[in-house]
Amino acid sequence: MKKLFLLISMVSLSQVNAQIDPVKYPTFTNIEDALNSKKAVYSMSFREKGLFNLPPQIVKLDSLFFLNIMANKLEKMDQELFKLKELEFLNVNENSIKYIPDEISQLQKLTTFSMNLNSLTNINPNITKLQKLKAVHFDANNLNTFPEALMEIPALEEINLQGNQISFIADRLHQIRNLKFLNLANNQINDMGNLSFPKNLKYLELQQNAIARLPENLFKARELEFLNASDNNITEISSKIKGLKNIVSMNLANNNLKDIPVEISQLKNLKTLILTGNPIEKSKIEKLKTLLPEAQVYF
What are the pLDDT digits (tens) for 116-151? 999 999 999 999 999 999 999 999 999 999 999 999
Domain count, the chain: 2
Tell me the CATH number at 13: 3.80.10.10
Same domain, 137 and 200: no
List the domain range (segments joined by +) for residue 149: 143-299
Residues 297 and 153 placed together within one structural domain of the fold: yes
Domain boundary, last residue among 106, 141, 176: 141
Domain match, 255 and 133 both: no
Shared domain for 97 and 197, answered yes or no, is: no
Residue 18 confidence (pLDDT): 44
* Contacts by residues 211-220 (CB-CB < 8 Å, ≥ 24 positions apart): 214/238, 216/240, 219/243, 219/244, 220/196
294 shares a domain with 218: yes
Q: What is the pTM (predicted TM-score) of this model?
A: 0.92
Same domain, 61 and 168: no
Give φ, ψ of 249 to 5 degrees. -135, 130
**pLDDT at residue 39 greater than cutoff 70:** yes
| pLDDT per position as a tens digit, 231-285 | 999 999 999 999 999 999 999 999 999 999 999 999 999 999 999 999 999 999 9
Query: Same structural domain for residues 94 and 177?
Result: no
The enclosing H or E element of 89 equals strand 89-91
216 and 281 co-located in one domain: yes
User: Is 251 in a helix, a strand, or coil?
Assistant: strand
pLDDT at 262: 97
| Shared domain check, 255 and 170 | yes
Any alpha helices (H) in 253-297, and if so which ranges?
282-291
- Looking at the structure, tell me whether residues 85 and 114 fall in a common domain: yes
Same domain, 177 and 119: no
Mean pLDDT on 91-102: 98
> Which band of pLDDT confidence, cut at 50, 70 and 90, is reported for residue 21?
confident
What digits encode the pLDDT tens for the residues 170-213? 999 999 999 999 999 999 999 999 999 999 999 999 999 999 99
- Region of 94 on the Ramachandran plot (φ > 0 left; ψ -120 to 50 alpha; else beta): left
* Angstrom distance (rounded) from CA 140 to CA 143: 9
Residue after which a domain boundary falls, among 94, 112, 141: 141
How much is the pLDDT for 19? 59
54 has a pLDDT exceeding 60: yes
In whole angstroms, give the CA distance from residue 235 to residue 245. Answer: 22
Residues 64 and 157 in one domain: no
Residue type, 265: S
In the listed set 113, 141, 169, which residue is the last one of a domain according to the structure? 141
